[in-house]
Chains A and B, each alone.
Chain A
Amino acid sequence: MLAATVRVTRDLDAAEEAVQDAYVQALRTWARDGVPERPGAWLTTVARRNALNVLRRRQTFATKLALLLEPENTEMPEPDTDTIPDDRLRLIFVCCHPALAQEAQVALTLRLVCGVATPDIGQAFLVAGTTMAARLTRAKKKIAAARIPYAVPSADELPERVDAVLTVIHLLYATGHTAHSGEDLVRDDLTARALDLARMLALLLPADREVAGLLALLLVHHARRATRTDARGRLLRLEEQDRCTWDRELIAEADQLVVAALRAGPPGRFTLQAAIAALHAQAPSYAQTDWPQILRLYDELLRIWPSPVVALNRAVVVSMVDGPLDALAEVEALERDGRLAGYRYLPATKADLLHRLGRDAEAADAYRAALALSDNAAEQEFLAGRVRSFER
C-alpha cells in the first residue's frame, strides 16, 4: 500500500502520512458502514487519494478545498492490482540503493516495505531504537535531497543491485524467524512476506542464480520452522528437532533450486548457504549429517564472504569434524577479534563446546553471558534452563 502510494507522491514521508490517514478513515468509515469486500484495495485507494490531496495541499496551500474531501466507500475505483508487485519492487530498489549505507538500506526496507517497528529493527542491528530512528530519518533525507529515483534499475545495473536486495530479504526473514523482543519466536507474517519477496524476485529474475539460492535458503528455513520450538514454545536445538515433521515438499523444491544453481556456475554466498541448509535438511539425523561436505561448503563460503558470523557457524561444523577443542580455539579467536561483541550466539556456542568438553562450570558462565544479551522470551527460557542444568 505504501509502495503504491509513494508512486503518487514520490515522497516517502507524504506517502507514510497518507497511509496512516487511510487507516484512521477506515476505522471511522468501517465502523459506520461495515468492512468493505476488499479491505486492502479500499485502503490503497484511500491512501492514494490522500496522497493526491497532500500534493494538492502543497501546491495550492491557501485553498482548503482538499480538506473537505472525504472518502466514500461506494463505487471505489479498484486499484490496478497488476502494478502493485512492480510498485513494491521499485520501493525495494529505492530502499536498497547503493548510494545509501547498507545498514540504512536494510532498515528502510524493513520499515517502509514490510512495516517492521523501528525498535525491532534496532534490535536486529544491535543498536538502540532512537539510533535506528535517526538512521532512518537521515536515509529518507538523502533519498529526497539526492533524488534517488523511484524505479527498477536498468538491465545492466540490475545484477549488482540485486545482491543488496537479497541481503535485505534474508535479514527480513531472520528478523521474523527469531523475533528479538517478541514473545513468539517465529513471526509468521514477517517470514511469509520475506518468502513472498524472494519468490517475486525469482519470477522477475529467473536467470539470477543468487536469487534462486536465496529462495532455496528461505524454503529450507521455512520447511523446518515448526520444529524450532516445542509445544510449550521452548527453543529446540537442531539435534533435538523432530525431522519427521519437516516439510519435505519445500525441502525438495529448495534442493532442485540449489542443484540447478550449482550446475550453472560458481556459487555465490546465498547458493552456498542454501546448499548447506539443504544438506542439513536431507540428513536422516544430526549424527548422520555429511559434516565433512558441510565444512567444505563453509570453507568456500568464508573465502568469498569473510564474515565473523560465518566463521562462528563454521566453528560449530569444525566441532563435528575435528572435535570441540579445535572449535573452541576458533570461537575464542573470534571472541578476541571483538567484532561479535554483543552477539549472543557467540557465548551460546562457546557454552555448548565447553559442555561437550566436560567443563560445565565454564559453560554455565558462558550461558549466563548469552542470557544477558538476549531479550527473546523463548531464547531466555532455553538459556536459563541450560544454566540451571550445569549449576547442579
Chain B
Amino acid sequence: MVQYAVLIFERETPGGVADIPPEIMEAHGQLPERIAEQGGRVVAGLALEPTGTGTAIRGDVVTDGPFIETKEALAGVFVLEARDLDHALALAKLTPIIDGGVEVRPLIGFAIVEES
C-alpha cells in the first residue's frame, strides 16, 4: 500500500467551521469508514482553522494571514493508504466537498513523534 496526502481546498466562509452544513460534517465523520469499505485506510487527518488564524514566516519576516493568498484555501489534510494512484483517486473522490476540490499527493514519508 502507498500513502497519499489528500489536501482539501475549499472556498472560505465568513463564519468558518460554523458555516459548514451539518450533512458535510457528518459525511466527514463517515469518510474513514467509507474508504475502508473500498479497500483503503485513513491513517491520519488534520482539520485546519480558517486562513485568518494563520501566521506566515518568510525568512525572518512574520506576517499575518496564510502563506499563499487564494480564493480556495487549504482547509484540511488527511493521509490515506491505497494500492496505487487510480485507487487513491477513487478514494479521494469520496471526500465531502462544498465548493472546492482536493489535491492528491504521494507522501515521501509519514512519521508520528512517539511520546517518551
Contacts and interface: CB of A to CB of B under 8 A. Distances in A.
B2 interface: yes
A151 B86 contact: yes
Interface in A168-202: none
B84 A145 contact: no
Nearest to B87: A149
Contacts of A146: 85, 104-106
Q: Contact residue range for chain B?
A: 10 to 19
Q: Which of A97, A147, A151, A157 has the largest count of B CB atoms less than 10 A from its CB?
A: A147
A153 interface: yes
A99 interface: yes
A148 interface: yes
A151 B2 CA distance: 16
A148 B85 CA distance: 5
Nearest to B82: A147
Interface in B1-49: 2
A102 B83 CA distance: 24
Interface string A370-388: 0000000000000000000
Interface string A130-172: 0000000000000001111101010001000000000000000
A149 B106 contact: no
Contacts of A99: 85, 89
Interface SS of chain B: helix, strand, loop or mixed? Answer: mixed
Contacts of A145: 106
A146 B4 CA distance: 8
Interface SS of chain A: helix, strand, loop or mixed? Answer: loop
Interface in B57-90: 83-89
Interface in A82-116: 97, 99
Nearest to B2: A147
B106 A153 contact: no
A318 to B, nearest CB: 40
Interface residues of A, number: 10
A157 B85 CA distance: 13
A273 B86 CA distance: 32
Nearest to A93: B86
Interface string A359-378: 00000000000000000000
Contacts of A148: 84-86
A157 B104 CA distance: 18
A150 to B, nearest CB: 9
A213 B85 CA distance: 30
Contacts of A147: 2, 84-85, 88, 106
Nearest to A145: B106
Interface in B72-116: 83-89, 104-106
A100 to B, nearest CB: 10
Contacts of B84: 147-149, 151
Nearest to A98: B89
A361 to B, nearest CB: 52
A151 B84 CA distance: 10
Contacts of A151: 84, 86
A244 B98 CA distance: 62
Nearest to A149: B84
B39 to A, nearest CB: 13
B86 A153 contact: yes
Contacts of B105: 146
Contacts of A153: 86
Contacts of B88: 147
A149 B106 CA distance: 13
Contacts of B89: 99
A146 B2 CA distance: 9
A97 B84 CA distance: 13
Contacts of B86: 148-149, 151, 153, 157
A151 B85 CA distance: 11
15 contacts: A145-B106, A146-B104, A146-B105, A146-B106, A147-B85, A148-B85, A148-B86, A149-B83, A149-B84, A149-B85, A149-B86, A149-B87, A151-B86, A153-B86, A157-B86
Given A146-B104, A147-B84, 15 more contacts: A97-B85, A99-B85, A99-B89, A145-B106, A146-B85, A146-B105, A146-B106, A147-B88, A147-B106, A148-B84, A148-B86, A149-B84, A151-B84, A153-B86, A157-B86
Interface of B: 2, 83-89, 104-106
- 8 residue pairs, one from A and one from B, having the closest CB atoms: A149-B84, A147-B84, A146-B106, A148-B85, A146-B85, A147-B2, A145-B106, A149-B86
